[in-house]
Amino acid sequence: MAKNNQALQTLKIAFLGGRGCGKTTLLASYLGHMASSRWQKEHQYYLSTPDSSDSKRLNELFQGLCNGYFPEATIKRASAYRFQMHVEACDGVPLEIQWLDYPGEWWEREPADAKEKKQRDDCLKRMVNSHVCFLVIDGAEFKRHGETYLRAHLAHMTNEIANLLRQTGTKKKHNALKDMVWIMALSKADMLEPNLTAADFADFVNRYAGDQLDTLRQRLGEAGCPSFGMNYLLFSSVLGTGQRIIDINKNIGLDLIAPLALRTILEKELQNADKSAVLKRVFAGSADRGALQALFNLLRQLLAKWPDRSTRDLGDLLFTKAETWLGSHAQDLQKEMDAQQKQGHSLRAAEAILKIALTKPENRQYFYVPLLRVGVNR
């Protein structure tokens, strides 16, 4: 059993994106909601911040959201925060989330002085040791300019990431980059069409900016990041319009961030497993139904490129039925979680709780993970 201040497992996540894309608002909303008793009652877990200065700053930001004010964009320095997960009926800290917020301003100008350059370099070193990196796409800009914005943004990020890697010499040691999983996260989903899905966004990106993704993969270690452009998330920290917050409690995708990050651990396991072991894990039971879903999504992605429309439609119908079957087994995860809680296995209970978020019908449109990396050349 874990001690109260020692996590059994740590997830390191980083958020990259331009200034004003919504990273700081997401950070404030994330803790503000997940530290509340309302969240604990609904989801059977809550988060805390072991660092008192982090707690003070984030709670001030959240109160600003509650009062209708968006926070100012993070500038001049990176921020690293620790969130600890506490599960009902379990002792200890099963999971710690280390959250790195890379200032958007750093993508838009050269370092002001040697001190800031060192801060950027240090931040980059922490970034490449993350388990998962979220590349945030500004939903408001995407809505206004579509393909033009997306291609320009990806080209700019490709150039800046390449510059940072070159300046710090990190490119020579890109083994960490090979293991990192990247998620393209479209922010401000409340401003977009309500029926837009993460799969729709994935299709748009690969259709209109596929060449940009290929270039970015190469810059990130000579194609050492096969996951880039394969994982997608739609999120909205609050319901707002322009500069005005309408409802602080209307959010999208907050409860998907940690589950998607946890899923990367399974993906890494499967990368290094032989095929027979993979099949055993895929069909082992409720704990790995996410892997089976990912396998279906891989086949769906391949089908999406099929030239004949009628074949695509038929295949889509079959996969929809398969997903419905998977959804009917979501109760297995709830049973697993209850059993683990009763036995006091806090880490397993935490993983089961988080997996439930991926099975909820209302969440299915907000994430898309079509690639299960089995048999990928390393």
Whether residue 172 is predicted with pLDDT greater than 60 in this model: the reply is: no
Domain limits at 298?
272-368
Is 214 in contact with 205 (CB distance < 8 Å)?
Answer: no
10 Å CB burial of residue 300 (0-12, 13-18, 19+) is buried
Within this chain, do residues 252 and 278 fall inside the same structural domain, yes or no? no
| Residue ending a domain, choose from 265, 291, 326 | 265
Residue 213 lies in a domain: yes
Tokens of 156: 């700019």
Within this chain, do residues 250 and 300 fall inside the same structural domain, yes or no? no
Within this chain, do residues 145 and 251 fall inside the same structural domain, yes or no? yes
How many CB atoms within 10 Å of residue 274? 10
Strand-pair partners of 64: none
| Residue ending a domain, choose from 216, 237, 265 | 265
Residue 337 lies in a domain: yes
- Report which DSSP code applies to 190: G
> Among the listed ranges 26-30, 193-197, 207-211, 298-302, which one has the minimum average pLDDT value?
298-302
Residue 325 lies in a domain: yes
Per residue in 295-329, pLDDT tens? 555 565 666 656 565 666 666 666 666 666 555 55
* 326 SS3 class: helix
Element (H, E) at 12: strand 7-16
Whether residue 291 is predicted with pLDDT greater than 80 in this model: the reply is: no
Q: For residues 235 and 252, what is the distance between their CA atoms, to the nearest angstrom?
A: 5
Higher pLDDT: 148 or 299? It is 148
Within this chain, do residues 258 and 336 fall inside the same structural domain, yes or no? no
Distances in Å between the Cα of 361 and the Cα atoms of 230, 316, 326, 330, 369 are 21, 17, 11, 10, 15
Residue 374 lies in a domain: no
Strand-pair partners of 239: 247
- Amino acid 40 reads Q
Residue 377 lies in a domain: no
Is 276 in contact with 56 (CB distance < 8 Å)?
Answer: no
Within this chain, do residues 260 and 341 fall inside the same structural domain, yes or no? no
Q: What is the dihedral of CA 234, 239, 242, 245, to 10 degrees?
A: -140
Within this chain, do residues 53 and 156 fall inside the same structural domain, yes or no? yes
Within this chain, do residues 204 and 68 fall inside the same structural domain, yes or no? yes
Q: For residues 321 and 100, what is the distance between their CA atoms, to the nearest angstrom?
A: 39
Mean pLDDT of the 13-40 span: 90
- Report which DSSP code applies to 236: B
Per residue in 78-120, pLDDT tens? 678 999 999 987 888 888 999 988 777 766 677 777 887 777 7
Mean pLDDT of the 16-32 span: 88
Within this chain, do residues 246 and 297 fall inside the same structural domain, yes or no? no
Within this chain, do residues 29 and 68 fall inside the same structural domain, yes or no? yes
Residue 355: per-residue pLDDT: 82
The mean predicted confidence, pLDDT, of the chain is 75
The percent of residues in the chain predicted with pLDDT above 70, rounded, is 65
Residue 356 lies in a domain: yes
Whether residue 286 is predicted with pLDDT greater than 50 in this model: the reply is: no
* CATH number for 175: 3.40.50.300
Within this chain, do residues 70 and 208 fall inside the same structural domain, yes or no? yes
Is 300 in contact with 317 (CB distance < 8 Å)?
Answer: no
Whether residue 68 is predicted with pLDDT greater than 60 in this model: the reply is: yes
Domain count, the chain: 2
Residue 2 lies in a domain: no
Within this chain, do residues 47 and 186 fall inside the same structural domain, yes or no? yes
Q: For residues 153 and 144, what is the distance between their CA atoms, to the nearest angstrom?
A: 13
Angle (nearest 5°) at CA 48 between 71 and 8: 130
* 337 SS3 class: helix
Residue 248 lies in a domain: yes
Question: pTM (2 decimals)?
Answer: 0.76
Whether residue 362 is predicted with pLDDT greater than 50 in this model: the reply is: yes
| Residue ending a domain, choose from 239, 265, 291 | 265
Place of tokens 């920290």: 237
Q: What is the dihedral of CA 196, 287, 131, 14, to 10 degrees?
A: 40
Reported as a pLDDT band with limits 50, 70 and 90, residue 46 is very high
Q: For residues 44 and 97, what is the distance between their CA atoms, to the nearest angstrom?
A: 17
How many CB atoms within 10 Å of residue 373? 17
Within this chain, do residues 147 and 185 fall inside the same structural domain, yes or no? yes
